[in-house]
Chain A
Amino acid sequence: MTAVPLQPPRRLVSFTLDGEETRVPEGSTILDACRSAGTDIPTLCQGDTLTPKNACRVCVVEVEGARTLAPACSRRAEPGMTVRTGTERARHSRKVVLELLASSTDLSTTPRAAEWIKEYEAKPDRFGEDAARVDEQPKIDNDLYVRDYDKCILCYKCVDACGEQWQNTFAIAVSGRGFDARISTEHDAALPDSACVFCGNCIEVCPTGALSFSTEFGMRAAGTWDEPAQTQTTTVCAYCGVGCNVTLHVQDNEIVKVTSPHDNPVTHGNLCIKGRFGFQHVQNRD
């Protein structure tokens, strides 16, 4: 029989969310409360396995009495607070944030971006044709994955996953400042020359597709990437005895990428180079 670890009981915090009395466990964020109440708030830099960085500001909500809006992903619910998620002010900021992002970066592979842009009536084109863009070429310097920073929204998730939150490899960090800030290795070295161990945990958390498997990048470029036609099979990695779950994404009977379930209590979505990229032997038929 499996022992189920029990958390100590948590007190409930009651506050007002969009006019409804809401009770959530102490320590919950406003976003947690919204999600349990079924309220949809857009998020980009928030990750289910990472400490919120609240850098993208697309999840801002209005907290009564506060001078500025609060990021729902990281602001904890406090007793008695009154939160409104759909006010004109909050929706305005979300709209502008989406416009600023879409006018400077390529959101074409960001899940739900197009849907939110429509919902918030964002018009990224209105900054004109000369609006500055991030303008980066894809960095292809190894066989395993591609860094296409034209799609990067600087959410810091890859940095956090590579650093002390998961991998403790510290191969990448944010360099530069302001609009010129980029995710970079030391001295912008190519990945094989950097500290990167190719665990691919940065790809796992990237919310925009800026980091992708070489297989996916190549297939997208060739126009053969067909996500609806793919199947996903979660199995156990056979390389060592840890027993990580791997989810194989298969298209036309070929593994095209590997992810890992985030709710797995051992790996939390993390893998090593073998589990993440060592799938070629399955399909090399020569």
Chain B
Amino acid sequence: MDLRYTDAVPSDAEREAVDALLGSPPSGWEGGTERTDEDLRWARGGAAAAKDRRDQLLPALHTVNDRVGWISEGALNYICRRLTVAPAEAYGVATFYAMFSVRPRPAKVLHVCTDLACAARGSAAVSADLTDRLGPPGTPAEGAVWQESPCLGLCERAPAALLLQAGPEAPSGPDGTAAGDAPRHCAVVAPATAPALVAAARSPRDAPAEPSAAVAVPQAGDPALVLLRRVGTVDPESLDDYRATGGYSALRRAFALGPAGVIREVLDAGLVGRGGAAFPTGRKWQATAQQADGPHYLVCNADESEPGTFKDRVLMEGDPYALIEAMTIAGYAIGAQQGYIYLRGEYPRAYERLSRALTGARTRGLLGPDVLGQGYAFDIEIRRGAGAYICGEETAIFNSIEGQRGEPRSKPPFPVEKGLFGKPTAVNNVETLVNVLPILEHGAAAYAATGTETSTGTKLFCVSGQVARPGVYELPFGANLRELLDLAGPPERLRAVLLGGAAGGFVRPDELDVPLTFEGTRAAGTTLGSGVVLVLDDSVELPRVLLRIAEFFRDESCGQCVPCRVGTVRQEEALHRIVDRTGAAADEDIALMREVGQAMRDASICGLGQTAWNAVESAIDRLGVYK
């Protein structure tokens, strides 16, 4: 590789930020300011070394964005030199993610959610009010810039906003503030009002602290809870509290059973993936464990971005050690020594909690070269996403971690054969992994006794929209939608419930008896998806909801394949045309969307394009929106 860099140089702050992540440049060839005599006589590295470091590209982009707020040509050039990445490729990666900017912008960026759950709770009024006060989205004001954002996963406190302020690391001592530069900070404002947002934009550090994760769990403290039992009742920062409430007994049992024994338990328990596809977890682990090629990797998909989904956030914020213990068990079962948590970039509190929990676990020998003195080496690294829904697709995660654009790969080959870094990989959602703990604590039979024959255990539901008590609910599989809504306090005049998120489908008020199981929703022609239950009353204009869904898919399409890249645009255009039309006036566009939708479903590379028409189709056919 003979790479050509530009002449742009980084600022001191940018250089420091990158060096803090990657260390000082080892030679003049890799970003050092001078070439020494030795450098000129000896070139180390080359293409092989470059390949090993490519996965640091996304963390390096993050570190500059966190420090300066955007990624300049000089910073990108420096990152490329340090990592031996072609500038064009790094530019392609940087422009892929919504949270990065390659143009100058203020250090403070305010993300105001306008997605489904927030729209159902008045985000349009907040945006309008904010436009009056700060100007339209994208206009710098008060040293900040605000922009409309897809779902931030704060649906229980909708409408929500997230403010990210770039700057140096917060100083540890009282006098340690870098001159003239406010330290890095983030603030969640939810429920959001325009005055509160303006105040937060002016002075993020004075924004009120975020409430505990327990606020998102209306059932907190209920003894029947399994996955949520610690959320709100145990200090999420304390490893001692975690162990005092049964933590790490599952891992001990796992070591007693051995890897094959763990997989057998998980198979017998009938655990299936909670991310949406409902694939049997034990079979995935078995297939990964059996691969002769190595090393094996475990990836936890914590890129929770489906509009209306926030259960993984609540688990990670409220019980971070549970995820770490569950990942250790999964890693042990599949023979992996390295696990990755791919965490969505918009979850700063989960990042902080998990980072601390990882340090805690390492200090106590629960991660590291010799876990629990059992001779098993395992560690976990968190990789932050940067605003791309598509990176929740299991193969797009690999590309994102590897420092490529987060585009899905074609399958076959499947991740269990060729996944992360081309090696056998098991990818599991946060909720799926956490289910492993009760399976090992109480045994497969006890676990499978809850739920139905094919959907065992309990399920988390993210209830949002027009209900009295939005939040994450945990119910045994088999409960129906009516029971769930009764818990959350349904609206008086229910119009529709969106199950499964933007990629899911609508059900009518007369269909509330649908059992909330994988097979039950499938039989009813809808899906559980990731557990989204978005409740809409008759004050909501459904055509606008559909338009928001279509906008979401258009924005989040990676652009790789034609049916999705152009099809999502054509779908949005058609929905725009008929937003105020009904009957025969809408027929032609509905027919057009059906044709495009069918092609997206049949011919798209990944699940995003394949499901981009689901919710719209169900609204037309089940709810009769345009009749």
Is A178 part of the binding interface, using a Cβ–Cβ cutoff of 8 Å?
A: yes
B569 contacts A179, C-beta separation under 8 Å: yes
Please name the residue on chain A nearest to B89 by beta carbon: A173
B4 contacts A187, C-beta separation under 8 Å: no
The stretch of B90-98, B199-207, B222-230, B528-536 in contact with A is B90-98
A54 contacts which chain B residues (CB < 8 A)? Answer: 410, 561, 605
Complex partner residue of B573 from A71, A132, A163, A193, CB under 8 angstroms: A132
Please name the residue on chain A nearest to B96 by beta carbon: A177
The stretch of B305-313, B337-345, B494-502, B593-601 in contact with A is B593-601
Q: What is the distance, in angstroms, from B598's C-beta to the closest C-beta of chain A?
A: 6
Report which residue of B76, B92, B568, B595 has the largest number of chain A beta carbons within 10 angstroms of its beta carbon.
Answer: B92
Query: What 1/0 mask marks residues of chain A from 97 to 115 whose CB sits below 8 Å from any chain B CB?
Result: 1001101100000000000
A184 contacts B566, C-beta separation under 8 Å: no
B602 contacts A178, C-beta separation under 8 Å: no
A189 contacts which chain B residues (CB < 8 A)? Answer: 6
A127 contacts which chain B residues (CB < 8 A)? Answer: 570, 573, 592
Please name the residue on chain A nearest to B405 by beta carbon: A174
Within A113-128, which residues are at the interface with B (CB < 8 Å)?
A: 126-128
A177 contacts B563, C-beta separation under 8 Å: no
Size bracket of the A interface? 35 or more
Complex partner residue of B565 from A71, A126, A178, A193, CB under 8 angstroms: A178
Within A22-63, which residues are at the interface with B (CB < 8 Å)?
A: 54-58, 60
Is B393 part of the binding interface, using a Cβ–Cβ cutoff of 8 Å?
A: no
Is B556 part of the binding interface, using a Cβ–Cβ cutoff of 8 Å?
A: yes
A126 contacts B562, C-beta separation under 8 Å: no
CA distance A60 to B600 in the complex (A): 12
A170 contacts B89, C-beta separation under 8 Å: yes
Q: What is the distance, in angstroms, from A172's C-beta to the closest C-beta of chain B?
A: 5
Complex partner residue of B558 from A68, A96, A128, A178, CB under 8 angstroms: A178
CA distance A74 to B561 in the complex (A): 14
Q: What is the distance, in angstroms, from A167's C-beta to the closest C-beta of chain B?
A: 10
Please name the residue on chain A nearest to B570 by beta carbon: A127
A184 contacts which chain B residues (CB < 8 A)? Answer: 88, 91-92
CA distance A185 to B90 in the complex (A): 10
Report which residue of A71, A93, A178, A184 has the largest number of chain B beta carbons within 10 angstroms of its beta carbon.
Answer: A178
Query: What 1/0 mask marks residues of chain A from 144 to 186 whose CB sits below 8 Å from any chain B CB?
Result: 0000000001100000000100001111111111111100111
- Whether A96 touches B569, Cβ cut-off 8 Å, given contacts A58-B562, A101-B562, is no
B3 contacts A195, C-beta separation under 8 Å: yes
Q: What is the distance, in angstroms, from B54's C-beta to the closest C-beta of chain A?
A: 12
A69 contacts which chain B residues (CB < 8 A)? Answer: 602-603
A177 contacts which chain B residues (CB < 8 A)? Answer: 95-96, 98, 388, 557-559
A186 contacts B76, C-beta separation under 8 Å: yes
Complex partner residue of B1 from A55, A60, A170, A173, CB under 8 angstroms: A170
Is A264 part of the binding interface, using a Cβ–Cβ cutoff of 8 Å?
A: no
Complex partner residue of B604 from A57, A168, A170, CB under 8 angstroms: A57
A96 contacts which chain B residues (CB < 8 A)? Answer: 563, 567, 595-596, 598-599, 603
Please name the residue on chain B nearest to A54 by beta carbon: B410
A171 contacts B598, C-beta separation under 8 Å: no
CA distance A31 to B177 in the complex (A): 63
CA distance A261 to B408 in the complex (A): 33
A131 contacts which chain B residues (CB < 8 A)? Answer: 570, 573
Q: What is the distance, in angstroms, from A128's C-beta to the closest C-beta of chain B?
A: 7
- Whether A57 touches B561, Cβ cut-off 8 Å, given contacts A176-B96, A186-B88, is yes
A175 contacts which chain B residues (CB < 8 A)? Answer: 91-92, 95-96
Complex partner residue of A168 from B1, B567, B602, CB under 8 angstroms: B1
Q: What is the distance, in angstroms, from B504's C-beta to the closest C-beta of chain A?
A: 17
CA distance A172 to B573 in the complex (A): 31
B569 contacts A132, C-beta separation under 8 Å: yes
B405 contacts which chain A residues (CB < 8 A)? Answer: 173-174
CA distance A177 to B73 in the complex (A): 19
Size bracket of the B interface? 35 or more
Is B102 part of the binding interface, using a Cβ–Cβ cutoff of 8 Å?
A: yes
Is A142 part of the binding interface, using a Cβ–Cβ cutoff of 8 Å?
A: no
Is B623 part of the binding interface, using a Cβ–Cβ cutoff of 8 Å?
A: no
A100 contacts B602, C-beta separation under 8 Å: no
A168 contacts which chain B residues (CB < 8 A)? Answer: 1-2
B573 contacts A130, C-beta separation under 8 Å: yes
- Whether A186 touches B561, Cβ cut-off 8 Å, given contacts A168-B1, A179-B569, is no
B567 contacts A181, C-beta separation under 8 Å: no
Is B384 part of the binding interface, using a Cβ–Cβ cutoff of 8 Å?
A: no
Is B610 part of the binding interface, using a Cβ–Cβ cutoff of 8 Å?
A: yes
B559 contacts A57, C-beta separation under 8 Å: no
B410 contacts A71, C-beta separation under 8 Å: yes
A71 contacts which chain B residues (CB < 8 A)? Answer: 410
CA distance A276 to B558 in the complex (A): 34
Q: What is the distance, in angstroms, from A224's C-beta to the closest C-beta of chain B?
A: 33
CA distance A93 to B566 in the complex (A): 13
B596 contacts A170, C-beta separation under 8 Å: no
A100 contacts B604, C-beta separation under 8 Å: no
Complex partner residue of A187 from B2, B102, B554, B566, CB under 8 angstroms: B102
Is A89 part of the binding interface, using a Cβ–Cβ cutoff of 8 Å?
A: yes
Is B86 part of the binding interface, using a Cβ–Cβ cutoff of 8 Å?
A: yes
B2 contacts which chain A residues (CB < 8 A)? Answer: 168-169
A178 contacts which chain B residues (CB < 8 A)? Answer: 554-559, 565, 568
Is A268 part of the binding interface, using a Cβ–Cβ cutoff of 8 Å?
A: no
Complex partner residue of A55 from B6, B92, B562, B570, CB under 8 angstroms: B562
B92 contacts which chain A residues (CB < 8 A)? Answer: 173-175, 184
Is B167 part of the binding interface, using a Cβ–Cβ cutoff of 8 Å?
A: no
Complex partner residue of A153 from B88, B91, B95, B562, CB under 8 angstroms: B562
Q: What is the distance, in angstroms, from B469's C-beta to the closest C-beta of chain A?
A: 36
Q: What is the distance, in angstroms, from A181's C-beta to the closest C-beta of chain B?
A: 3
B557 contacts A56, C-beta separation under 8 Å: no
A195 contacts B4, C-beta separation under 8 Å: yes
A93 contacts B610, C-beta separation under 8 Å: no
Complex partner residue of B559 from A95, A173, A180, A187, CB under 8 angstroms: A180
Within B556-598, which residues are at the interface with A (CB < 8 Å)?
A: 556-563, 565-570, 573, 577, 592, 595-596, 598
A180 contacts which chain B residues (CB < 8 A)? Answer: 559
B595 contacts which chain A residues (CB < 8 A)? Answer: 92, 96
Q: What is the distance, in angstroms, from B394's C-beta to the closest C-beta of chain A?
A: 16
B87 contacts A195, C-beta separation under 8 Å: yes
Extra pairs beyond A74-B410, A177-B98, A186-B91 (5, CB < 8 Å):
A56-B561, A68-B603, A104-B569, A177-B558, A178-B556
List of 4 A-B pairs having minimum Cβ-Cβ separation, nearest first: A170-B86, A181-B559, A96-B599, A173-B92
- 17 A–B contact pairs at CB < 8 A? A55-B560, A55-B562, A57-B603, A68-B603, A74-B410, A96-B603, A127-B573, A154-B562, A175-B91, A177-B95, A179-B566, A179-B568, A185-B88, A186-B87, A187-B87, A187-B102, A194-B88
